[in-house]
Amino acid sequence: MKPAPFAYRRPGSLADAVAALAGDAGAKVLAGGQSLVPLLSMRLAAPSMLVDINAIPGLDTITADDIGVTVGALARHADVLASDDVRRVQPLVPMALSRVAHATIRNRGTTVGSLVHADAAAEMPVVLTLLGGSLEVVGPSGSRTVPAHELYVGPLECCLHHDEIAVSAFFPALAPGAGVAFDEIARRHGDYALVGAAALVDGDSVKVGYLSVADVPTVVDLSGVPDDRLGDVALEHLDPADDVHATADYRAQLVRVLTARVVRSAREGTR
Amino acid sequence: MTEERHDVVLTVNGTAHPVRVPGRRLLSDALRHDLGLTGTHVGCEHGVCGACTVLVDGRPVRSCLMFAVSAQDSEITTVEGLTGSDGSLGPVQQAFLECHGLQCGFCTPGFLTTITAGLRDNPSPTHEEARDMVAGNLCRCTGYQNIVKAVERAAELARDGAPRVHPADPPEPESGQLAYEERDDDNASTGLGG
């Protein structure tokens, strides 16, 4: 199928983009489009206007320092994944990015776009939430910082207003002595994961974030839980569901397996 | 209501093409219908199959997941742009010919563009890297064995700068291989001759 008609705007500045969004309550931002365009083509979404931010200069930056990694709204997954600085400062980011769709999709898709698309089956929202990162958002009244734990309010729903644009995401650096790991199980290479898990271990603190087993990206604090109980305790906070791809029981089993696996791997990889 | 149209210039295979398109025109449709470049094939039209893959500023991108209006500042390379100016085959195309990397050919343009960029970034892939290079493209008839062989052969050809073959002048069949003219004409296209 083809997308329904929409008005198209390609502003050259952030201010013009925000003004375009503010002028049409049915407008959506177009960045990489790798999630949005299929939704449009299948007519699961029909916005009245697309505001294409690809011509706005300065949004494709990727910076990494001792504090963390900052990724601009037009930074493509592939560029973030290829950055040695990002890998050094926060290795969980490339670990998870390598599992985002296929390389061809990563060439066009943006990391910030994936974050605001807010798919609970996606990798990067879980990573941002687990690490305690944030989004920098610009709207008609200026900019604000949204912490990850406030960002996700429902399935495919984040707390941004319709006239706001996420301009960058911040992933905190991996602390000395801490370790991270990511793993997921998918039916086929590059498919959505049946279950995915990311671990952050820092001394006695053990946290694991999950994708595809709750309506929103979900992080569970497993500090102090015996190793043989990690997955079962995590499942008390998760809601694995049946669908055509897997049963709820199978997903629960994957939670047990992947939790043990990522916690062990994160401990082994501590700095 | 008349749908708003946008005047944009698409730069495809080094040539600038002015087009007037609605915002919702997919790049894949603009290439095929507005520019007549039907080498780019459209399979699933939601980013899964890879048949429509083109190079946007040198990188493989699904043309069904981009709007033509979004491509106005980019250099696009389609499968038509992979041949030499004299019509000779590029190394990836020649490798597909030699390795029987295609049967029906529907998925082939997406493979050719993807592998062309893949070998530019990694001129000497391992077997595993060659497999990974084509992991985002689906083929329903050839199977992937010969396609992976073609990736590895294309790497050799690109490295060695081997002479390119003109499509009108296919290589001599190796001894023991059934020559085209020996096949029963009725069945030649199916390979079921005899």
A62-172 has which fold?
3.30.465
Per-residue confidence (pLDDT) for residue B48, from 0 to 100:
93
Whether B80 shows a pLDDT value over 70: the answer reads yes
Per-residue confidence (pLDDT) for residue B172, from 0 to 100:
54
Per-residue confidence (pLDDT) for residue B164, from 0 to 100:
56
Within a domain: B105: yes
Instruction: Check A37 against B66: CB less than 8 A apart.
Output: yes
Average pLDDT along chain B: 87
Whether A103 shows a pLDDT value over 50: the answer reads yes
Per-residue confidence (pLDDT) for residue B1, from 0 to 100:
62
| Residues A116/A99, Cβ–Cβ less than 8 Å | no
Q: For A190, which of B59, B64, B136 is closest by C-beta distance? A: B136
| Residues B88/B46, Cβ–Cβ less than 8 Å | no
Within a domain: B177: no
Q: Least CA distance to A50: which residue of chain B? A: B23
Of the residues B24, B58, B82, the one at which a domain ends: B82
Within a domain: B64: yes
Please check whether residues B29 and B75 belong to one and the same domain: yes
| Residues B125/B152, Cβ–Cβ less than 8 Å | yes
Within a domain: B40: yes
A178-268 has which fold?
Enolase-like; domain 1 (3.30.390)
Torsions phi, psi for A85 (to 5 deg): -65, -40
By C-alpha distance, which of A65, A59, A57, A93 is closest to A78? A93
What lies within 8 Å, CB to CB, of A229 at 6+ separation is: none
Q: For A105, which of B3, B62, B69 is closest by C-beta distance? A: B62
B114: contact with A, CB 8 A cutoff: yes
Question: Would you state the structure tokens that stand for residue A227, as one six-digit string?
Answer: 């190793």
Please check whether residues B70 and B124 belong to one and the same domain: no
Which residue in this structure is represented by tokens 């001759």?
B193
Within a domain: B181: no
How close, in Å, is residue B186 to chain A by CA atoms?
Answer: 37
Give the Cα separation of B117 and A40 in Å (integer).
28
Coil, strand or helix at A236: coil
For B23-76, what is each residue's pLDDT tens digit? Answer: 999 999 999 999 999 999 999 999 999 999 999 999 999 999 999 999 999 999
What is the number of CB-based contacts under 8 A between chain A and chain B? 89
**B contacts of A55 (beta carbons < 8 Å):** 73
CATH number of residue B48's parent domain: 3.10.20.30
Interface test with A, best of B1, B24, B107 (most A CBs within 10 A): B24
By C-alpha distance, which of A30, A91, A27, A85 is closest to A55? A30
Q: What residue segments make up the domains of chain A, in order of their start?
A: 7-55, 62-172, 178-268
Whether B173 shows a pLDDT value over 60: the answer reads no
For B100-141, what is each residue's pLDDT tens digit? Answer: 999 999 999 999 999 999 999 999 999 999 999 999 999 999
Instruction: Check B26 against A8: CB less than 8 A apart.
Output: no
Within a domain: B103: yes
Give the Cα separation of A124 and A170 in Å (integer).
12
The answer to whether A7-55 and A178-268 have equal CATH topology is no
How close, in Å, is residue A41 to chain B by CA atoms?
Answer: 7
Q: What are the Cα distances from residue B134, in Å, to A236, B50, B90, B97? A: 40, 9, 18, 17
A55: contact with B, CB 8 A cutoff: yes
Instruction: Check A38 against B46: CB less than 8 A apart.
Output: yes
CATH architecture of A7-55: 2-Layer Sandwich (3.30)
Average pLDDT along chain A: 96
CATH number of residue B114's parent domain: 1.10.150.120
Q: How many domains does chain B have?
A: 2
Tell me which DSSP letter residue B35 carries.
Answer: S
**A contacts of B61 (beta carbons < 8 Å):** 104, 107-108
| Residues A171/A93, Cβ–Cβ less than 8 Å | yes
Whether A111 shows a pLDDT value over 80: the answer reads yes
Residue B36 buriedness (CB in 10 A; 0-12 / 13-18 / 19+): exposed
B128: contact with A, CB 8 A cutoff: no
Residue B71 exposure: Cα atoms within 13 Å on the Cβ side: 34
Structural domain containing residue B69:
5-82
Of the residues B82, B104, B133, the one at which a domain ends: B82
Split at pLDDT 50, 70, 90, the class of A190 is confident
What is the average pLDDT across A30-47?
97
What lies within 8 Å, CB to CB, of A86 at 6+ separation is: A62, A64, A69, A80, A93, A94
Q: pTM (2 decimals)?
A: 0.91
Lowest-pLDDT choice from A24-33, A37-46, B28-37, B181-190: B181-190
Question: Would you state the structure tokens that stand for residue B86, as one six-digit string?
Answer: 């004299």
Of the residues B82, B104, B124, the one at which a domain ends: B82
Within a domain: B53: yes
What is the average pLDDT across A48-54?
98
List, in sequence order, every residue forming a beta bridge with B46; answer none if it has no partner: none
By C-alpha distance, which of A72, A78, A77 is closest to A60? A72
Whether B179 shows a pLDDT value over 70: the answer reads no
Split at pLDDT 50, 70, 90, the class of A191 is confident
What is the average pLDDT across A69-76?
98
Split at pLDDT 50, 70, 90, the class of B183 is very low
Within a domain: B178: no
Lowest-pLDDT choice from A116-130, B56-70, B128-142, B164-178: B164-178
Interface test with A, best of B46, B65, B69 (most A CBs within 10 A): B65
Whether B184 shows a pLDDT value over 60: the answer reads no
For A130-181, what is each residue's pLDDT tens digit? Answer: 999 999 999 999 999 999 999 999 999 999 999 999 999 999 999 999 999 9
